[in-house]
């Protein structure tokens, strides 16, 4: 539950009436018997003699027009920009500080009125940083938003046949909507509390249950607000810097788009999970008629600035929210692009969102890119790395911590493999055609055979993926995240074996892999390997 701290008035550009009264009281000179009345008269004369000041002006929220009152500003915004502050306040249930944040958010981020009118809760101006005034002495921050909630007196008659109850009915609808929103929030809070109680109970009851046999390891599922954590992580610039600096990733998308402009020329393009907007800008430069970028994380506000800096706001429209929840300004798109891939390809489950967008928005004959993806496995022989991660726990500064092995082994590792430790040829376990895929295809089992290339101890199985841009392409583009290619930020995913075993060149190492979503955290994966008569389960989270 969020507890709002009402900051001092200096942070929001207005002062509570009580504070003003107290300050005025402090400024009153003390009375004495020695001519204080004369002093009072002198002060009054000085105040009367003070020349009149120019009327204070404040700019419109969406253009450069200046106004001398908040009422005139809002009237202009409503008639010229189709932005009705009354509707906005009631739609989102904004009280004093919510209204202040809204005004400062608009001043700072310069969103369009169309974008603001399309928003649903949660709103993007909830952060405390929007309490700080963007403009000094902003008349809009001195407007009493509570006036919008006062009973409205209506004229005797209205044109166009409207009854004198119209305004009251509208307000009743807003009040009902706010009540329903509050009830929904309370229900979510109760549900969260119940989940926390259940998690605590499960943790206590199952703390000692780590394995069900010497050959099978079970995974403890964590229950958390995975979407909140997920989107929050993508709100920080660091992760986007890492992705943009991944030349294999970014240049592959660039080359595909720029070398196949016929795919984008005069087309409507949807960028799912647009981040900083780099793919949207590539598409716009390739000749797209309209590009719509959708992202739930806070980085989209930086993307808005980036789009404006590059003078592409006439082509690119950004929408904040989950693709499953937002309303796009178009019914259908011709092309969907997305950089949705996670570790081991399917970690993060963002392909689910791309599939949703494809099913709902892609026009007949349209295309999704990348269009083909594949996952492959390799055998790894690296006894030193295995000992460093597993045998290490046998003697930690003279203490036996070997019980930690049961917790360490089930955690998949994401790191760059030394190509010298690869002891098999690759084996593909999954091919995904993004035009035909459905969500249920993303959980699967596959038998595999690894042809061993050298005598070694098999200490791990590693996975990686390859990406293809092929459909209708004059110039096909592909890239790999395998250990024999240029390193990417995806690296490789490594599943350490609890009990390594020896293999020899020419041997066919047979196994089975099963990939499932964690039911309590659908963005993470549960991977089960059956190999050499052992079954081991891993968590990728």
Q: Closest by alpha carbon to 353, among 436, 294, 268?
A: 294
In degrees and rounded to multiples of 5, residue 178 shows phi and psi of: -65, -40
Between the alpha carbon of residue 278 and those of residues 121, 298, 397, the distances in Å are 27, 16, 49
Are residues 496 and 413 in contact, defined by beta-carbon separation less than 8 angstroms?
yes
Question: Is residue 242 among the annotated active site residues?
Answer: no
DSSP 195-247: HHHHHHHHHHHHTT--BSSSS-B--PPP-S-HHHHHHHHTTSHHHHHHHHH-H
- Is beta strand 58-59 parallel, antiparallel or unpaired with respect to 444-451? unpaired
Query: What one-character DSSP code corresponds to residue 474?
Result: S
Q: What count of other Cβ atoms lies within 10 Å of the Cβ of residue 191?
A: 10
Between the alpha carbon of residue 50 and those of residues 23, 47, 124, the distances in Å are 21, 5, 44
For residues 535 and 520, give the distance between their C-alpha atoms in angstroms, rounded to a whole number: 22
Q: Which of 183, 348, 443, 507 is catalytic?
A: 348
For residues 331 and 363, give the distance between their C-alpha atoms in angstroms, rounded to a whole number: 9
Question: Is residue 23 among the annotated active site residues?
Answer: no
Q: Closest by alpha carbon to 296, among 355, 226, 241?
A: 226
For residues 296 and 323, give the distance between their C-alpha atoms in angstroms, rounded to a whole number: 8
For residues 286 and 316, give the distance between their C-alpha atoms in angstroms, rounded to a whole number: 13
Q: Closest by alpha carbon to 7, among 81, 96, 93, 72?
A: 96
In 438-491, beta strands by DSSP E: 444-451, 456-469, 477-480
For residues 105 and 134, give the distance between their C-alpha atoms in angstroms, rounded to a whole number: 8
311: alpha, beta or left, given left = phi > 0 and alpha = psi -120 to 50?
Answer: left
What's the angle, vertex CA 169, arms to CA 164 and CA 175, rounded to 5? 150
540 Cβ contact partners less than 8 Å away, ≥ 6 residues apart: 343, 344, 347, 412, 493, 524, 525, 526, 527
In 238-361, beta strands by DSSP E: 268-272, 290-295, 316-320, 333-337
- Is beta strand 534-540 parallel, antiparallel or unpaired with respect to 58-59? unpaired
Q: Which of 80, 251, 339, 507 is catalytic?
A: 339
348 Cβ contact partners less than 8 Å away, ≥ 6 residues apart: 230, 340, 342, 523
Annotated active-site positions, please?
Answer: 339, 348
């Amino acid at each position: 539950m969020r507890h709002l701290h009402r900051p001092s008035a200096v942070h929001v550009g207005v002062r509570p009436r009580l504070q003003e009264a107290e300050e005025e009281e402090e400024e009153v000179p003390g009375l004495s018997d020695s001519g204080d009345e004369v002093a009072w008269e002198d002060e009054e004369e000085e105040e009367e003699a003070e020349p009149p000041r120019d009327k204070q002006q404040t700019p419109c929220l969406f253009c450069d027009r200046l106004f001398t009152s908040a009422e005139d500003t809002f009237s202009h915004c409503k008639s010229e920009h189709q932005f009705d502050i009354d509707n906005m306040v009631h739609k989102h249930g904004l009280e004093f500080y919510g209204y202040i944040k809204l005004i400062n958010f608009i001043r700072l981020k310069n969103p369009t009125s169309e974008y603001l009118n399309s928003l649903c809760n949660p709103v993007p101006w909830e952060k405390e940083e929007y309490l700080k005034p963007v403009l000094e002495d902003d008349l809009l921050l001195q407007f009493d938003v509570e006036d919008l909630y006062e009973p409205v007196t209506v004229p005797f008659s209205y044109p166009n046949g409207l009854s004198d109850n119209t305004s009251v009915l509208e307000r009743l609808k807003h009040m009902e909507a706010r009540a329903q929103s509050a009830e929904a929030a309370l229900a979510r809070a109760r549900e969260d509390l119940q989940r926390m109680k259940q998690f605590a109970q499960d943790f206590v009851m199952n703390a000692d249950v780590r394995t069900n046999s010497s050959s099978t390891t079970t995974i403890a599922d964590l229950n958390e607000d995975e979407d909140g954590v997920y989107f929050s992580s993508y709100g920080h610039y660091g992760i986007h810097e890492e992705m943009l600096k991944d030349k294999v990733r970014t240049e592959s998308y660039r080359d595909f788009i720029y070398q196949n402009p016929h795919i984008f020329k005069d087309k409507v393009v949807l960028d799912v999970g647009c981040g900083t907007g780099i793919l949207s800008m590539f598409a716009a430069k390739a000749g797209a008629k309209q590009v719509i970028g959708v992202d739930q994380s806070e980085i989209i506000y930086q993307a808005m600035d980036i789009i404006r800096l590059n003078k592409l706001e006439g082509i690119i429209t950004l929408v904040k929210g989950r693709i499953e929840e937002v309303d796009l300004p178009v019914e259908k798109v011709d092309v969907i692009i997305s950089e949705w891939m996670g570790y081991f390809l399917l970690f993060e489950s963002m392909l689910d969102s791309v599939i949703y967008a494809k099913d709902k928005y892609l026009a007949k004959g349209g295309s999704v890119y990348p269009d083909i993806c594949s996952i492959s496995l390799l055998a790894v022989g690296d006894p030193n790395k295995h000992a460093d991660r597993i045998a290490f726990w046998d003697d930690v500064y003279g203490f036996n911590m070997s019980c930690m092995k049961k917790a360490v082994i089930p955690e998949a590792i994401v790191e760059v493999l030394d190509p010298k430790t690869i002891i098999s040829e690759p084996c593909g376990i999954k091919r995904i055609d993004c035009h035909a895929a459905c969500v249920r295809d993303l959980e699967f089992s596959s038998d595999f055979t690894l042809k061993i290339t050298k005598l070694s101890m098999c200490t791990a199985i590693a996975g990686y993926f390859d990406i293809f841009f092929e459909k209708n392409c004059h110039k096909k583009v592909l890239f790999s995240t395998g250990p024999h290619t240029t390193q990417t930020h995806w690296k490789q995913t490594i599943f350490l074996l609890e009990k390594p075993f020896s293999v020899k060149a020419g041997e066919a190492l047979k196994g089975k892999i099963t990939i499932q979503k964690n039911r309590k955290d659908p963005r993470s994966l549960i991977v089960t390997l059956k190999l050499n008569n052992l079954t081991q389960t891993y968590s990728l989270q």
